[in-house]
Amino acid sequence: MPSVLNLATWVALAIIVVIALTQAIRILREYERGVIFTLGRFSGVKGPGLILLVPAVQQMVRVSLRTIVMDVPSQDVITRDNVSVKVNAVIYFRVMEADRAVIQVEDYIVATSQLAQTTLRSVLGKHELDELLAERDKLNADIREILDAQTDQWGIKVANVEIKHVDIDESMVRAIARQAEAERNRRARIINAEGERQASQTLVEAAKILAVQPEAIQLRYLSTLFDIGADKNSTIVFPMPLDLVSTWLKPGRPSNTSTARVTPDRPSAPGPGRSGTG
């Protein structure tokens, strides 16, 4: 009977030792840190590797130092030009100081998510729709700076913020399409007008060159005749210099015909039946 009691005692002691070792031994991975509390008071950060704790006296909270990717839910945002849109984003952050992430805030992941949602609405509401669509890099940087400044007291570093989707009402999409089409038409007309202006300047310069060198117009005539002869045309137009035609178009030009001489009429011979005397 005493041997049975001794065996039960040893078994109970072994169980107690195993439980104590289980509570005392912790193994932390390379990306983990342990925040140690001794009788409720912060006593340091340990890890990675093997950690020994005093059972029932010390407690440990695991904290991961890896980058956390958080998807911010869609937020209803009213831009500065009174356009209602839905915007969602993604945030990349990591814990830099494990003790502050545990002590300063109850749940740093939930706190960062809520802060990101409110910051997203407040920052985007200060900009117009065109800026929201065209200047995403600037808006991402502004949101990241605000989040990083406010989460620094929690020992968290916000590495990046990216706006994923901007959902716009269907009527607003049509209005933006009409605006884009009008802008393309405006640029096309400007380019066309600019081309006409450059062509006019080139023609003026060519006319000045031809006026200085009249012989050059003959080369132009020959080039024109060559172009006409290249096609199978039944009609050939010969260009005539304007200076040659202008001499015929001037008012009061001298006549090339000779002036007719007027001679006095001679007395006609008496006809038959007439006498030569009165």
**Strands, E assignment, 47-172:** 49-52, 58-64, 68-78, 84-95, 156-168
CA–CA separation, 53 and 249 (whole Å): 118
Instruction: Name the residue with higher pLDDT: 240 or 29.
Output: 29
Strand, coil or helix: what is 55?
A: coil
Answer yes or no: CATH 3.40.50.150 is held by domain 68-168. Answer: no
- How much is the average pLDDT of 135-150? 93
Distance CA 84, CA 13 (A): 69
d(C-alpha 259, C-alpha 20), whole Å: 146
| pLDDT score at 259 | 42
Q: Is the pTM of this model over 0.75?
A: no
The rounded radius of gyration (Å) of the Cα atoms in the chain is: 51
Least confident of 108-112, 206-210, 217-221: 217-221
Look at residue 160 and tell me whether its pLDDT is greater than 90.
yes
Find the mean pLDDT for residues 121-145.
90
**Structure token digits, residue 111:** 């706190």
Q: Is the pLDDT of residue 214 over 70?
A: no
pLDDT of residue 236: 61
Looking at per-residue pLDDT, the higher value among 125 and 255 belongs to: 125
Per-residue pLDDT band for 248 (boundaries 50, 70, 90) equals: low
**Domain boundaries defined on the chain:** 20-64, 68-168, 170-226
Q: Tell me the helices (H) and strands (E) count for the chain, helix number first.
A: 8, 8
Q: In Å, how far are 207, 214, 216, 243 from 227, measured between CA atoms?
A: 20, 21, 17, 23
Sheet with 156-168: strands ordered across? 68-78, 84-95, 156-168
Give which of 142, 140, 132 is closest to 167, Cα–Cα. Answer: 132
Answer positive or negative: Cα dihedral of 178, 182, 183, 184: positive
Average pLDDT, the chain: 81
